[in-house]
A and B are shown apart, each in its own frame.
Chain A
Amino acid sequence: MEFSFDLLLEATVFGVLLGCFYAAVSIGLSVSFGLLDVPHVAHPALIVLGSYCTFLVARYGIDPIVAGVLLMPLFFLLGVAVYRFYYETFEKRGTNAGVRGIAFFFGVALIIEVGLILVFGVDQRTVEAPYIGKALDLGDMRIPLRFLVAFGVAVTLMAGLTLYLSKTFTGRAIKAVAQDEPALRLMGANPVRIKQHAFGIATATAALAGALLIVIGPVDPGLDRVYIGRTFSVVVLAGLGSMTGTLAAGLILGIAESIVLMQFGASWAPAVAFGLLLVVLGVRPQGLFGR
Chain B
Amino acid sequence: MKFWISCAVAMFAAVALGATLKNEYYFFAGYTVLMFIVLATAWNILGGYAGYVNFGTPAFFGLGAYTAAVLFKAYELPLALQILAAAAMSGLLGLGAGLLTLRLRGIFFAIATIALVVIMETLFINWRYAGGATGLQLLRPPVTPPFDSYIKMLFVVMAGMAVASVAIARYIETSWIGRGLRAIRDSEEAAEASGVPTLKLKVFACTISGALMGAAGAPMPMYLSFIEPASTFNLNYAIGALASPMIGGTAHYLGPVIGAILLSSLQQLVTVTISNEVNVLVVGVMLVVFVVAAPDGILGLLRKVRWKRS
Contact = CB atoms under 8 A, between A and B. Distances in A.
The answer to whether A and B touch directly, with their CB atoms under 8 angstroms apart, is yes
Contact of B185 (A39, A99, A102): A99
Interface of B: 47, 51-53, 55, 100-101, 104-108, 110-112, 114-116, 118-119, 122-123, 125-126, 133, 185-187, 235, 239, 242-243, 246, 277-278, 280-281, 283-285, 287-288, 291-292, 295
11 contacts: A99-B47, A99-B53, A104-B288, A106-B242, A228-B111, A268-B126, A274-B118, A278-B116, A278-B119, A282-B100, A285-B104
The interface centre, meaning the residue of B52, B187, B284 with most chain A CB atoms within 10 A of its CB, is B284
- Would you call the interface of chain A mostly helix, strand, loop, or mixed? helix
A56 interface: no
A212 B130 CA distance: 38
B283 A110 contact: yes
Given A110-B239, A268-B126, A89 B292 contact: yes
Interface of A: 33, 39, 41, 89, 95-96, 98-100, 102-104, 106-108, 110-111, 113-115, 117-118, 225, 228-229, 232-233, 236, 267-268, 270-271, 274-275, 277-278, 281-282, 285
Contacts of B285: 107, 111
Contact of A268 (B47, B53, B122, B283): B122
Given A39-B110, A98-B107, A102-B106, A278 B284 contact: no
A104 B291 CA distance: 6
Given A98-B107, A118-B278, A274-B115, A267 B122 contact: yes
Given A99-B106, A102-B106, A282-B100, 18 more contacts: A95-B186, A95-B187, A96-B295, A99-B52, A106-B55, A107-B287, A108-B284, A111-B288, A114-B277, A118-B277, A229-B114, A233-B115, A271-B123, A275-B119, A278-B112, A278-B115, A281-B101, A282-B101
Contacts of B115: 229, 233, 274-275, 277-278
B118 A267 contact: no
A48 to B, nearest CB: 15
Contacts of A228: 111, 114
Contacts of A33: 107
Contacts of A100: 291, 295
Contacts of A281: 100-101, 104, 108, 112
B111 A267 contact: no
A252 B133 CA distance: 28
Nearest to A104: B291
Given A118-B278, A277-B112, A229 B118 contact: yes
A107 B291 contact: yes
A110 B242 contact: no
Contacts of A275: 115, 119
A114 B281 contact: yes
Nearest to B122: A271
B113 to A, nearest CB: 10
A33 B111 CA distance: 12
B8 to A, nearest CB: 34
A285 B108 contact: yes
Contacts of A285: 104, 108
Contacts of A107: 243, 284-285, 287-288, 291
B291 A103 contact: yes
B197 to A, nearest CB: 21
A124 to B, nearest CB: 16
Nearest to A271: B122
A54 B5 CA distance: 60
Nearest to B283: A110
A67 to B, nearest CB: 26
The interface centre, meaning the residue of B187, B235, B239 with most chain A CB atoms within 10 A of its CB, is B235
Contacts of B53: 98-99, 102-103
A118 B278 CA distance: 8
B118 A102 contact: no
Contacts of B101: 278, 281-282
A268 B115 CA distance: 13
Given A107-B287, A115-B281, A102 B107 contact: yes
Nearest to B106: A98
Contacts of A104: 288, 291-292
B233 to A, nearest CB: 11
B42 to A, nearest CB: 17
B180 to A, nearest CB: 17
